[in-house]
Structure 1
Amino acid sequence: MTVDELPLLKSEGSVVGRLSPLMRQLRERGPVVKVRTRAGDEAWLVTRLAELKQLLKDRRIGRSHPDPENRPRYLDSPLLDTLVRSDDPEVAREIHVKTRAALTPHFSAKRMVALRERVAARVAAHLDRITASAPPVDLHAELSLPLSFEVLCDLLGVAEHDRFMAMLAGAGRLDESEKVAVGAQELFAYLQELVEEKRREPDEHLISALCEAEIDDGTVCELISTISFSYLVTPTNLSAGIALFASHPEQRERVVRDPGLLETAVEEVLRLSKVDESFQPRYAGEDIEIGGVVIKAGDLVLCDHYSPSFDDRVFDDPETFDVGRSPNPHLAFSHGLSHCIGAPLARIELQEVYGALLRRLPDLTLAVPIEKVGMPTDSEDDEQMGNGIARLPVTW
């Protein structure tokens, strides 16, 4: 089969809590299937949970590629280009371990308690403002997006919230490659300014911690960029969960009656939160046999964290939103060395937002059908990395 004959991996505009027809078809083909990316290259897509977990633990998979300029691409994105390393995989792994060691104290239990208080205060302030207005209100624009950026800036130690948000938006677009290239250059120039400032005047925030980890400035900027764009998933998770609660009143009522279910409800939201372009692009350092196929050294591997959440070999009734689902072994935060170090903070955000909404707006409902809440399609203008929700109009 030629590249052009392979199924094209594209945005379809899926519904929150539902697996798209394309992803369903690809999963039926097998746990690891060959696809054509939006950049026109071949890639292996992992569709089932067991195989995804196996690959995420495999030391032969990583971001390194021996020939980055000629590697197969997932997207034509200058930003993603900066994340592919030419280092020896072991060198790249050593850098990864060193940076995680520097970051870990910022996600300690003690630190999370302090951040939870700050997140709760920000949520309360946003809801005070929102409830002072007449519905309907777009909670994605008015709550999920601004809250997530504020928490990210608090974590990093970035004072200029609006400027940083604009920089990320410019660099994170998936269209207009020339503008994206300029946006990526402006973002990295701004990050370099931040790094130089934190080296002169260190503080208790995350950028300063990276600066103290004996890592060169270029790598520090790449890491800040990676952390920032990874964190752009959070607005989608927040909005998807609001949509699920608003469209499933019986599940919402379960949590209202028993607030102890909030933690398992958040895990269920994470399982069902679709993020457009949610594939982690990785490269095989050696030949790998898995799922009945052989991935060749240098091949592009796309680790999909969404389709495996609907794996009926693992989850009973996978398209059912069940706030009490347990166990819930989703891989929304990846696995192994790739596990998202910011997962505790993301969970705190979701818990604080949903808890506050259920207390203050218990009769919250969608102002549009849930089908209209889903991610943008390829035909829409909103081609933003990490943007799995276009809008979330609600009423109460």
Structure 2
Amino acid sequence: MSQLSSELPAFPMSKAKGCPLDPPPEYARLRSDRPVAKARLWDGKEVWLITGYDEIRSIFTDPRISVDNTAPGYPWLSEQQRTVVLTGGVKPVGRMDPPEHTAMRRMLGQGFLVKKIQNMRGDVEALVNGLIDDILAGPRPTDLVPTLAMPVPSTALGWVLGVPPADKRLVSLVPRLFDEDSGLEGAMEARAELFAYIDELITHRENEPGDDIISHLVGYYQKGELSRVSVLTQAVTLIAAALDTTRSMITNGILALLQHPEQAAALIEDPDLVPAAVEELLRYTVVTEFSSKRVAAEDIEIAGETIKAGDGIICLISAGNRDEKVFTDPDTLDIRRDAKQHLGFGAGIHTCIGKQLARMELEVVYGTLFRRIPELRLAVPFDQLVFRNTFDVQGVRELPVTW
């Protein structure tokens, strides 16, 4: 049955009461009644919302579905988002379709080889232990965003991409890119500063190449296989993704464990649960709620609905990760659950290229933090936490804790 245009709900929908990181209650109703349903965006355009787990995986793996954000039907959440993302004219790898995507993914994949990430683990463990040493030696309460959540991904990013570790200019620029509170002018200023910074790094790597992703991309540029603008775009996109999403996942996971002390206690008692805990936290607390946007390149039939070529699509990961057909008691955090099939990193050819790095960082942070500070707790009531107001990335602005 088709939906009447006048009856379409507005999207995005109101956050859940209690915890803004939880999915809106409307998602569960849609998933049960209509896992493929239409809604209306800020600009009056209609969009398909996908809330069922199986339906989301189907969209992610269907070659008739495009990620091209220059397509006319691609869904944007605001004019600011569209302006900031599209300025520059070169698509990042996450917005490329095959065969362009296949070639770029191959170029970038050298920096994310499993063996290379595994070899970094000892360095990340030393980094995290050093940061926790500083936390324990410092004042209480402390904010875990600048003392732990930002330094870990920014430093690890330096090792993988060739960016100087913990560069303060870089760390401050990325959140401003997509934060609605900064306004369009602030976002565009941050974008220009970030591109200028990476352009300097590219010039440096032209003269002094290393074993890092930016050096590899510069090599393709020097051979004429990539333009300089493309190198800039891919590097900036990877930086924004690695810093902002991992930072938020670190804090969101810690917050979830602090809100479920029995789960934190289980993690402390049995360190072997850490890998499973990471997967469950990736299922339970979704960072990139609105980033899985698509557009149909051809007509498709799914869940009794016809999505026409040119229609915009948004896959709601948090809804799919709470699908009771796949996960028993899905609204409960259970670190003993086998949650590896979660959708937190996407699926199909566009699955997150840095997922192994993110997993490793999360395992080290969660396992080390709760082992070394088992008395960790929030320093303020939950309702006093301030949550970020962004297009795609959900999280807290600050995470004040004590022990």
TM-score range, shorter chain: 0.7 to 0.9
Alpha-carbon distance between aligned partners in 2 of 1:223 and 1:61, rounded to the nearest angstrom: 22
Alignment partner, residue 317 of structure 1: 329
Alignment partner, residue 10 of structure 2: 7
Going from structure 1 to structure 2, the CA distance change for 1:374 and 1:295 (only over 3 Å counts) comes to farther
Alpha-carbon distance between aligned partners in 1 of 2:380 and 2:391, rounded to the nearest angstrom: 22
Counterparts of 1:189-228 in structure 2, within 5 Å, are: 189-213=196-220, 214-228=225-239
Alignment partner, residue 185 of structure 1: 192
What is the number of residues matched between the two proteins? Answer: 389
Query: Larger deviation: 228-237 or 133-142?
Result: 133-142
Alignment partner, residue 298 of structure 1: 310
Offset of residue 341 of structure 1: 1.5
Alignment partner, residue 230 of structure 1: 241
Q: CA RMSD in A?
A: 2.9
Alpha-carbon distance between aligned partners in 2 of 1:50 and 1:170, rounded to the nearest angstrom: 35
Q: Contact 1:173 / 1:384 at 8 angstroms: preserved in 2?
A: yes
Q: Secondary structure of the residue that 1:128 maps to in structure 2? A: helix
Look up the equivalent residue of 2:238 and give its one-letter code.
I
Offset of residue 66 of structure 1: 6.8
Q: Contact 2:36 / 2:303 at 8 angstroms: preserved in 1?
A: yes
Offset of residue 184 of structure 1: 2.4
Alignment partner, residue 54 of structure 2: 50
Alpha-carbon distance between aligned partners in 2 of 1:269 and 1:326, rounded to the nearest angstrom: 11
Alpha-carbon distance between aligned partners in 2 of 1:3 and 1:65, rounded to the nearest angstrom: 27
Q: Contact 2:279 / 2:339 at 8 angstroms: preserved in 1?
A: no
Q: Secondary structure of the residue that 1:310 maps to in structure 2? A: coil
Percent of counterpart pairs with the same letter?
Answer: 33
Alignment partner, residue 353 of structure 1: 365
Going from structure 1 to structure 2, the CA distance change for 1:4 and 1:149 (only over 3 Å counts) comes to farther
Alpha-carbon distance between aligned partners in 2 of 1:309 and 1:83, rounded to the nearest angstrom: 34
Alignment partner, residue 397 of structure 2: 390
Alpha-carbon distance between aligned partners in 2 of 1:90 and 1:121, rounded to the nearest angstrom: 35
The yes-or-no answer on 1:134 pairing with 2:146 is no
Alignment partner, residue 379 of structure 1: none
Alpha-carbon distance between aligned partners in 2 of 1:332 and 1:155, rounded to the nearest angstrom: 22
Offset of residue 13 of structure 1: 6.5
For structure 2, which runs of at least 5 residues remain unmatched after alignment? none
Offset of residue 277 of structure 1: 4.5
Look up the equivalent residue of 1:290 and give its one-letter code.
I
Q: Contact 1:236 / 1:274 at 8 angstroms: preserved in 2?
A: no
1:75 to 74, 78, 94: 78
Alpha-carbon distance between aligned partners in 1 of 2:268 and 2:122, rounded to the nearest angstrom: 21
Q: Contact 1:99 / 1:210 at 8 angstroms: preserved in 2?
A: no
Alpha-carbon distance between aligned partners in 2 of 1:330 and 1:374, rounded to the nearest angstrom: 27
Offset of residue 71 of structure 1: 5.2
Offset of residue 134 of structure 1: 3.4
Alignment partner, residue 154 of structure 2: 149
Alpha-carbon distance between aligned partners in 2 of 1:67 and 1:17, rounded to the nearest angstrom: 30
Going from structure 1 to structure 2, the CA distance change for 1:167 and 1:358 (only over 3 Å counts) comes to closer
Q: Contact 2:9 / 2:39 at 8 angstroms: preserved in 1?
A: yes
For structure 1, which runs of at least 5 residues remain unmatched after alignment? 377-381
Q: Contact 2:55 / 2:302 at 8 angstroms: preserved in 1?
A: yes
Alignment partner, residue 269 of structure 1: 281
Q: Contact 2:157 / 2:239 at 8 angstroms: preserved in 1?
A: yes
TM-score of the two chains, using structure 1 as the length reference: 0.88
